[in-house]
Structure 1
Amino acid sequence: MVLVSAQGDDARKPNLIIIFTDDQGYQDLGCFGSPDIKTPRIDQMAKEGMMLTDFYAQTVCGPSRAALMTGCYPFRNARRDKGEVPHPKLALAEITMAEVLKSAGYATGMVGKWDLAGHSQTKFDMNLRPGKQGFDESFWTPGSNDAFVNLLRDDQLIERKADLSTLTRRYTNEAIQFIDRHKEGPFFLYLAHTMPHTKLAVSTQFKGKSKAGLYGDVIEEIDHHVGRVLDHVKKSGLDENTYVVFTSDNGPWWVKKDHGGHAEPLRGEKCTTYEGGLRVPCVIRAPGNIKPGRQSSQLAATIDLLPTFAALAGAEVPTDRVIDGVDMSAFLHGEAKEKDRSFFFYQHKFLRAVRVGKWKLHVPHTQSHRQGLGKKWRVHMRPENRPFIEEVTLYDLESDVAESKNVASDHPEVVARLMKRIAHMRKDLGDGGYRGENARALGKDDYFGRGIEGK
């Protein structure tokens, strides 16, 4: 691990909070156009801060969390399981956001869904718990709430099969208590809600309140508790020195029907690499640092949060490995123009598309793309999004955000330019069964061993 500790007065460093929801669609906030889900607290957060309308995560839960924590495309990260498993057991040799911020004197806390030690409530690797990945304190559940949720505090199991309807409130209570313990700062809090991943559950206070059914009830309860966090930050006198990011891990889970969310006007859903699969709502609030009422279509992503937070904290990002994210702090502060950059769309290990500016290019599905998870995941998609792509497909997202008209034949020069970026990424990171030259070691005991021994 190569990190450089920051110098200076810790008291002046900003506090950093990420609120991460699960399977919440692009449209599932009032400020992002929901016609029937009311989210007054997050809407107000957007008015007081900034909305990023072209913000990307990853296609599914575990990879999305790996990307957030490491600033890298998930396929780049080393892991302690077979690469065919979609949800990674993140190797301890990886350097997380929490570890980067600890090097700069931050107290670090994790609350909620972890999903980086095994996608199971019972069969997970305790050696990969949050406390082994840079978090001083953790109140967490190992994976999703497909059937039930067990709760742990640090390395101790404290409750089996917790009442799902209490989780949003309990997570928020724990987050507020963490803020109280570390209000002298600086602190980093990662609050990862279990909801609105199914099974859906909501407290009596919010049951039946939304026009959007149970799913809407769940989102409106999350909104209420986001407000509690913001209120507590302000009450604690930390408002002017705290950045709060609200976003989601991937698009809505279409197969869950009324218990899934919405991504309109985007095409696609969870498990696809159309816009609705990876583009998620994002709101950032930082009074005194981010001008209120801003809205930007700057291409940005969860992989950018690690280098951005490192810059805000005066920390150094790892220098011994590729980090895919970029520092967006100057842009957020209005001190720099929008960045011209690429974003690559991976469906697990398959490179599906690239976006540069307004252009998005989908590559044809190869034979390997049509096997294994590439085939299996299609059941999670709307029927119209299931067909394999047979030819290079180019969309102008500025005029066609729904990805409905292939304009590749009209812009051969754009196709050629973007195909060069695809070729570079295949060499650098990989695609399908090929691991690129800068993908980190997969299954090498010496690499994993160094990470384990170092912690």
Structure 2
Amino acid sequence: MHGQPPNILFILIDDLGAVDLASFGSTFYATPNLDRLAERGLVFTDAYASCPVCSPTRGSLLTGRYPARIGLTDWIDFGGRIQPARGKLVDVPYIRELPRTEVTSASLLRGRGYSTWHVGKWHLGFEETYPEQHGFNVNIGGGYLGAPGPGGYFSPFDIPNLPPGSPGQYLPEVLTDEAINLIRNRGDNPFFLNMCFYLVHTPIEAPADRVAKWEARVRELGLDRRTALVEGEFFPMEHKRHLRVTRRILQSDPVYAAMVESMDENVGRLLDTLEEEGIADDTLVVFTSDNGGLSTSESSPTCNNPYAEGKGWMYEGGTRVPMIAAWPGRIPAGSRTAEPVCSIDLFPTWLAQAGIPVPDRLLIDGEDLSPVLFEGAALERDALFWHYPHYGNQGGTPGSSIRSGDWKLIEFYEDHRLELYNLAEDIGEVHNLAEEEPEHTRALHQRLKEWRGSVAARIPTPNPNWQE
């Protein structure tokens, strides 16, 4: 660290796919502000969420620990309407909060004099584990909800820690207004702003004029005349067994496009505020998503091609996410890295920039990304791991995986099937090389099993009531 510790602006989008930005390959969505951020900073082409669904990733971001180590391995269904899901297997039990015993980046930064603000989605427990209990001075809009609530994205809002709003207000704009107000009234201390948009999670909603614009764009491009959705197999779990997985194979949903545009505009407002306040050069900005894009259920609003599947799946479309980091004068502008990085890495990275050593008592899994950010260097780590012992609400089945170099191995628990892919040659995970490459398969499978043991990962059990 050089000089004073930086402000940290962390922008987390919900369900944004790895190719939902123009700078990451989309030829449909409009994201000029995020493209500008990419031009000014570092683009991570191989960034991952620590889980293919939201709550576990959010816990990992704040603690630097794998979801399996925390014990929070699935999204938190507070009503218990769906979980535990049952198919051929029965989902494993898991905790439905981020325990107060977990040490967060916010609590450590606050202890070093940072102003710590949470704005937006939390989804890590009820009031006893809200942001205020995890080191944040301020909590605006953060509560138990995983989506905007019964009122959706338009006022009146029914969201904890957020006023109902004035008629006609759109949630992303309100949250951004609140964040801008915090920045403008920041005082003398450095700040950590945990800016967690509810966008682009369902319900898929956007202002009518913006949707009309994108409907016209779809017609102009002729996308309305092309096949966008393909019906597939039946869902593998009991509560959705009568329904089929529906895959989007084309980015063409005008409402989702309007949501992406709104997201981009509001990120742009935050970046402009840093410039207007004269603190852009003193602020590390990191942008990413909590899991892959929603492409196989709940209207399947986006497409993650060339990556396979999406949110809730163990394939790349479920865990690979866009990620950009920018800090003028520190991170080289217009740079790119293919270094595999993960949500767990941001905890030690924040601490390093603030000059805070990771406490000896903490067992964390993440790596400080400083060598990647500032030197374009590689990390010493040689593998990343995932464990999702649940039936994703989007059609995926329980499994775990490892990526080491270009090689990725997935084990699916229903039949303990192994799938091996060389991502450098097969980014779409089409050609399973498990039988052709038995040595790679055995070695990676052994490492995966050893890792599961080290984090006390739970494995789902057979469902005695399952009938084919």
TM-score class normalised by the smaller sequence: 0.7 to 0.9
**Corresponding residue of 2:411:** 363
Tell me the SS of whatever aligns to 1:19.
strand
- Equivalent position to 2:28, from 36, 40, 48: 36
C-alpha displacement at 1:338, in angstroms? 4.3
Q: Which moved more, 1:197-206 or 1:127-136?
A: 197-206
**Corresponding residue of 1:413:** 439
C-alpha displacement at 1:181, in angstroms? 2.0
Residue identity (%): 32
Contact 1:146–1:199 (8 Å) recurs in 2: no
Contact 1:99–1:135 (8 Å) recurs in 2: yes
Q: Which moved more, 1:312-321 or 1:399-408?
A: 312-321
- Equivalent position to 1:75, from 57, 68, 76: 68
C-alpha displacement at 1:205, in angstroms? 5.8
Contact 1:48–1:292 (8 Å) recurs in 2: yes
Give the residue type in structure 2 aligned to 1:51. Answer: V
Render the CA deviation track for 1:290-345: whole Å, top value 9, x for unaligned: 00111111100111000011101111224223211111112210163344421112
Contact 2:117–2:139 (8 Å) recurs in 1: yes
**CA 1:364 to 1:21, structure 2 compared with 1: closer, same or farther past 3 Å?**
closer
**CA 1:184 to 1:424, structure 2 compared with 1: closer, same or farther past 3 Å?**
same
Tell me the SS of whatever aligns to 1:159.
coil
C-alpha displacement at 1:257, in angstroms? 5.9
**Corresponding residue of 1:237:** 278
- Equivalent position to 2:200, from 196, 202, 206: 196
Following the alignment from structure 2 to structure 1, what is the Cα–Cα distance between the partners of residues 298 and 158?
26
**CA 1:177 to 1:433, structure 2 compared with 1: closer, same or farther past 3 Å?**
same
Following the alignment from structure 1 to structure 2, what is the Cα–Cα distance between the partners of residues 146 and 152?
9
Following the alignment from structure 1 to structure 2, what is the Cα–Cα distance between the partners of residues 176 and 362?
42
Give the residue type in structure 2 aligned to 1:392. Answer: L
Listed as ranges, the matches of 1:80-91 within 5 Å are: 84=92, 88-91=96-99
C-alpha displacement at 1:64, in angstroms? 1.5
Tell me the SS of whatever aligns to 1:244.
strand
- Equivalent position to 2:292, from 251, 257, 263: 251
**Long gaps (5+) in structure 1:** 1-7, 118-124, 371-387, 435-455
**CA 1:178 to 1:205, structure 2 compared with 1: closer, same or farther past 3 Å?**
farther
Note the aligned Cα RMSD (angstroms).
2.6
Contact 1:165–1:202 (8 Å) recurs in 2: no
Contact 2:401–2:410 (8 Å) recurs in 1: yes
Following the alignment from structure 1 to structure 2, what is the Cα–Cα distance between the partners of residues 209 and 318?
51
Render the CA deviation track for 1:387-434: whole Å, top value 9, x for unaligned: x6x532210000100001112233333223312311221210133349
C-alpha displacement at 1:276, in angstroms? 0.3
**Corresponding residue of 2:211:** 207
Tell me the SS of whatever aligns to 1:209.
helix
Contact 2:42–2:325 (8 Å) recurs in 1: yes
**Corresponding residue of 1:453:** none
Are residue 110 (structure 1) and residue 118 (structure 2) matched?
Answer: yes
C-alpha displacement at 1:103, in angstroms? 2.3
Render the CA deviation track for 1:72-118: whole Å, top value 9, x for unaligned: 1112115799995668311100111211211221110000011001x
Contact 1:251–1:276 (8 Å) recurs in 2: yes
**Corresponding residue of 1:150:** 158
C-alpha displacement at 1:261, in angstroms? 1.9
Following the alignment from structure 1 to structure 2, what is the Cα–Cα distance between the partners of residues 192 and 356?
30
**CA 1:402 to 1:331, structure 2 compared with 1: closer, same or farther past 3 Å?**
same
**Corresponding residue of 1:290:** 331
**Corresponding residue of 1:46:** 38
Q: Which moved more, 1:331-340 or 1:393-402?
A: 331-340
**Corresponding residue of 1:92:** 100
Are residue 159 (structure 1) and residue 148 (structure 2) matched?
Answer: no
Contact 1:73–1:303 (8 Å) recurs in 2: yes
**Corresponding residue of 1:394:** 420
Render the CA deviation track for 1:23-43: whole Å, top value 9, x for unaligned: 111111111111210101101
**Corresponding residue of 1:139:** 140
**Long gaps (5+) in structure 2:** 79-83, 85-90, 152-156, 218-251, 391-397, 461-468
Tell me the SS of whatever aligns to 2:439.
helix
Following the alignment from structure 2 to structure 1, what is the Cα–Cα distance between the partners of residues 411 and 159?
42
**CA 1:163 to 1:269, structure 2 compared with 1: closer, same or farther past 3 Å?**
farther
Are residue 62 (structure 1) and residue 62 (structure 2) matched?
Answer: no
Q: Which moved more, 1:190-199 or 1:424-433?
A: 424-433
**Corresponding residue of 2:129:** 128
Contact 2:389–2:459 (8 Å) recurs in 1: no
Following the alignment from structure 2 to structure 1, what is the Cα–Cα distance between the partners of residues 417 and 297?
30
Q: Which moved more, 1:107-116 or 1:349-358?
A: 349-358
Give the residue type in structure 2 aligned to 1:294. Answer: S
May I ask how many residue pairs the two structures share in their alignment? 393
Are residue 174 (structure 1) and residue 178 (structure 2) matched?
Answer: yes
Give the residue type in structure 2 aligned to 1:357. Answer: G
Following the alignment from structure 2 to structure 1, what is the Cα–Cα distance between the partners of residues 308 and 34?
24
Structure-2-length-normalised TM-score: 0.78
Q: Which moved more, 1:256-265 or 1:126-135?
A: 256-265
Following the alignment from structure 1 to structure 2, what is the Cα–Cα distance between the partners of residues 348 and 192?
26
Contact 1:62–1:87 (8 Å) recurs in 2: no
Following the alignment from structure 1 to structure 2, what is the Cα–Cα distance between the partners of residues 231 and 282?
19
Following the alignment from structure 2 to structure 1, what is the Cα–Cα distance between the partners of residues 260 and 269?
14
**Corresponding residue of 1:345:** 386
